[in-house]
Structures are given as structure tokens and as C-alpha cells.
């Protein structure tokens, strides 16, 4: 794949879904899978599967399908999840505390290595997840010491942009934002917004117009 080639965000999302299904197929003992079966499992069409994979090269054998294990490995290389990633969490409220305990992160190679807050009453506190809450002022130093590559924001909206600025100043170029604020970051910093209320809005829209409730 050429580095300058623009890959649709939806394709990257689907690659992650394909990878999850391939893991399940491998667990169930499958060695090969057709594009039709993989598409059915992921609720897309086979042409879409082939197009998504085609951005990155030739995979599989015509008329035979894809090797489940090999394709899984290749997708993980594409998504750069064939290695571990250290993460730092900012915001030790209910959501932040829950995220630190979420086992799905380390299971997939994403490991929290530090937790930060600006509240004097929280700084220095021992959490049940095993972390000691650090002062946000230590962010830059800690990022260098622990090789933090991804910053996770779990603060209220009022503090999210300032936290973003701190993360950028600490040379963190990837941010997962759980706050309801649409934060601004430089072009060399990638941001993913996770707003549960937006997902709920989509659900209620579909309930009204697609289900008829």
C-alpha cells in the first residue's frame, strides 16, 4: 500500500470487525473462510470485503478463500495491533476508573500504564485497579518514562480541551476522547471521539423510523 493512499475510515472500521470474526473462526477450528461467509458474519457483502482487503494487497486464493490465521495476522499488521501500546488515562471519575479495570484493553494489546488527574483529593490515591493517581503536571515526564503512545480522556467537557493541549505538549499523537466535547488537536495528532449519547441518539432514531416505536 502506498503511504499517501487515502483509505476510507469505514474500511478501517470494517477491518477491525473482520479481525474479530477471524479470531472467532479460528477458535471454532476453521482453517479457511470464503469472502461470502466472512461478509455474512460481518453483515456486509462479499464485494465489500474484497474491496476493503484490496486496498492493502492480494489475499486468499480465488475459489478457495482466505486462510483464517494468515488473514488475521495480515490485518493486525495493517491495523498496527500486532504490537503492544501503552496508554495514559486522564480523568479519574466513574468512567475513568471503569476504563482502567476494563480487561478487553490489555487482552487486545492496549495497556494502561499511568492514570492522571488535577484534583488534589485524587492525586496520590491508590486505586483498586492498582494505579496510583498522578498529578497531571507529571504527564510529560511520565509519557517519556513509560513510552505512552495513546492518551485517553475521561474528564468532563469543561476540562477536555486543556487536557488535550497537555497531551499534545507531551508529544502524544493519538487521543481517545470519551468526553462529550469535540476537542481540537493539531493535524499531526489523530483523535477518536467516543460519545455514548450520540450512539443512543442513533438508536432512538432507528427505533422511531425503522422499528416504528
pLDDT tens-digit readout, 69-79: 999 999 999 99
- pLDDT at position 137: 96
As a whole number, mean pLDDT of residues 62-72 equals: 93
- pLDDT at position 207: 94
CB atoms within 10 A of CB 56: 16
| Phi/psi of residue 172, nearest 5 degrees | -90, 125
Kindly state the percentage of the chain with pLDDT values over 90.
88
- pLDDT at position 103: 86
Smallest Cα–Cα separation from 91: which of 67, 112, 69? 112
pLDDT higher than threshold 60 for residue 1 = no
Contact 5, 54 (CB under 8 A): no
Helix 9-27 with 35-42: angle, nearest 10 deg: 110
| Phi/psi of residue 132, nearest 5 degrees | -105, 125
CA–CA separation, 55 and 96 (whole Å)? 36
Query: pLDDT tens digits for 47-56?
Result: 999 999 999 9
- pLDDT at position 4: 57
As a whole number, mean pLDDT of residues 8-28 equals: 96
Structural domains in the chain, CATH included, are: 9-79 (1.10.10.10), 85-198 (3.40.50.720)
Query: pLDDT tens digits for 110-120?
Result: 999 999 999 99
As a whole number, mean pLDDT of residues 94-101 equals: 95
Q: How many angstroms separate the first and last alpha carbons of the chain? A: 46
Q: How confident is the model at residue 213 (pLDDT cuts 50, 70, 90)?
A: confident
Amino acid at each position: 500500500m502506498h503511504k499517501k493512499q487515502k483509505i476510507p475510515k469505514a474500511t478501517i472500521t470494517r477491518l477491525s470487525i473482520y479481525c474479530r470474526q477471524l479470531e472467532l473462526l479460528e477458535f471454532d477450528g476453521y482453517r479457511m473462510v470464503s469472502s461470502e461467509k466472512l461478509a455474512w458474519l460481518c453483515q456486509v457483502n462479499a464485494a465489500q470485503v474484497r474491496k476493503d482487503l484490496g486496498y492493502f494487497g492480494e489475499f486468499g486464493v480465488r475459489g478457495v478463500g482466505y486462510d483464517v490465521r494468515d488473514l488475521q495476522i495480515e490485518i493486525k499488521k495493517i491495523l498496527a495491533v500486532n504490537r503492544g501500546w501503552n496508554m495514559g488515562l486522564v480523568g479519574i471519575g466513574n468512567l475513568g476508573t471503569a476504563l482502567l479495570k476494563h480487561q478487553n484493553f490489555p487482552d487486545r494489546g492496549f495497556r494502561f500504564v499511568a492514570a492522571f488527574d488535577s484534583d488534589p483529593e485524587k492525586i496520590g490515591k491508590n486505586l483498586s485497579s492498582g494505579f496510583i493517581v498522578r498529578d497531571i503536571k507529571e504527564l510529560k515526564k511520565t509519557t517519556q518514562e513509560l513510552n505512552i503512545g495513546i492518551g485517553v480522556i475521561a474528564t468532563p467537557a469543561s476540562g477536555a480541551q486543556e487536557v488535550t493541549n497537555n497531551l499534545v505538549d507531551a508529544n502524544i499523537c493519538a487521543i481517545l476522547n470519551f468526553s462529550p466535547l469535540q476537542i481540537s488537536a493539531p493535524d499531526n495528532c489523530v483523535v477518536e471521539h467516543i460519545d455514548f449519547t450520540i450512539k443512543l441518539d442513533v438508536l432512538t432514531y432507528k427505533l422511531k423510523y425503522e422499528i416504528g416505536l
